[in-house]
Amino acid sequence: MSDGKGPPVLEGVRVLDLTHYEAGPTCTLILAFLGAEVIKVESPTKDKSDRQRFNGEEDAKEDLYFVLMNLNKKSITLDIATEEGRSLLLDLVEHCDVLVENFRPAMMRKWTLKDEVLRRRNPRLIYASVSGYGSYGPYAAYPGLDMTAQAVGGIMSITGEGDEPPIRCGATIADSSGGANLALGIVAALYRREKTGKGMKVEVSLQDCAVNLGRSLLGTHIAYGSKAHKAGNRLKDVVPWNIYPTCDKGYVAVCVIPQRQFERLMQVIGQADLLRAHRLYSLPARKKNRQLIDEVVGAWVLRRTKREAMARLCQNDIPCGAVLDSIEVSDDAHLREREMIVEIEHHQWGRIKVLGCPVKIADSPVEIKTSPKIGEHNREVFARLLGLKDLDLQGLKARSII
């Protein structure tokens, strides 16, 4: 937990957020958590809004999906599909450090908002883009989402059991890693700008990020020219590495690589005699006796609750994790203490739990704030950065530009 000694690490960095769905908003969410002023640009037209993407009822609340992706941000409305809206956007670019977008490359070209154009207006601008396949390559024009990225990135081919059909990872790992990688690239570009005074373009693709997530497993097979197969909860070369049921109808993951940990595990579960009886003194020997090891570990786990098994093994320096569902994660004391589960007050949802910032910086506190109301910061941003008066804003609103 932060002791609150210093300001947020990205304080003073201003970001124009032209993102939607998840990969782009994840990037700008991380930047906002770290203290950047993130100004989310939204359409003034309700039917183009991301706020009710999964719930189209006229009187519906904003999607929690939107709320969770847009904590700690500011909101302005601006129709960048219009010439006047794009002109205002270009004016804003002159006052910003970073612009983040996750449109398909053709869309930014159509709007004449390519990185070269924007950086002519502001040579210090960091132009950051995330898309399904990037701005070049045979797939560049293809649409892409998290699930398609998991497919073409090889992740889906190694997820699941045996000969069963490919299966999507439950978490949106391509979107999440795409956003995190883009945030990292932006911070690196800001660091370089401190030395050169010049901005640059930063780009990631969801396919690239999905492939990167498989670096150890996919990468090994790519290096050898072989095909990686689904292994389910097991690793081919490591035993024990599996999910075991518990007496409270739960599960734990037990994952042991070093031989010394394995021998300690056998001591803890009362099976030390098996070491000598089956000469389980190496990984190859353990692999030959996979079924036996899974049986004895499974039998020991089954007599305990998932929390008991996790505590007992971890206290003996043996990696074990209880499989927690969303309710259990929400109430997890460790996550609460680390402020990964926090409560906010939302103008429609009331008091709700949300996920906090995974990056902990000792002297830089992170205060989690609710997502903004649509256009909540129009007056502040347009007046402060562009000097527009109330009469100007009224005219822009009347013409549906903001």
Percentage of residues in the chain having pLDDT higher than 90: 85
Label residue 162 by pLDDT band (50, 70, 90). confident
Instruction: Find all residues with CB under 8 Å of 65, minimum gap 6, and list them.
Output: 53, 54
Does the pLDDT of residue 3 top 80, yes or no? Answer: no
Q: Where in the chain is the domain with CATH 3.40.50.10540?
A: 14-214+340-398
pLDDT of residue 46: 72
CA–CA separation, 45 and 79 (whole Å): 8
CA–CA separation, 346 and 371 (whole Å): 7
Does the pLDDT of residue 174 top 80, yes or no? Answer: yes
Q: Where in the chain is the domain with CATH 3.30.1540.10?
A: 241-329
CA–CA separation, 82 and 389 (whole Å): 21
Instruction: Cite the active site residues.
Output: 175
Does the pLDDT of residue 218 top 80, yes or no? Answer: yes
Helix, coil or strand: residue 78: coil
Helix, coil or strand: residue 258: coil
Packed helices 173-196 and 23-33: angle between N→C axes, nearest 10 degrees:
50
Label residue 339 by pLDDT band (50, 70, 90). very high
Mean confidence (pLDDT) of the chain: 93
pLDDT in tens, 347-390: 999 999 999 999 999 888 889 999 999 999 999 999 999 999 99
Which residue type does 68 have? L
Instruction: With CA atoms as reference, report the closest residue to 239 among 283, 300, 274, 292.
Output: 283
- Is CATH 3.40.50.10540 the right assignment for the domain spanning 14-214+340-398? yes
pLDDT of residue 2: 45
pLDDT of residue 364: 86
Tell me the CATH architecture of domain 241-329. Answer: 2-Layer Sandwich (3.30)
pLDDT of residue 195: 96
Longest CA–CA separation in the chain, Å: 87
Beta carbons of 107 and 63 less than 8 angstroms apart = no
Other CB atoms within a 10 A radius of the CB of residue 103 amount to 18
Label residue 334 by pLDDT band (50, 70, 90). very high
pLDDT in tens, 200-211: 999 999 999 999
Does the pLDDT of residue 325 top 70, yes or no? Answer: yes
Beta carbons of 374 and 49 less than 8 angstroms apart = yes
Mean pLDDT of 74-83: 95
pLDDT of residue 1: 45
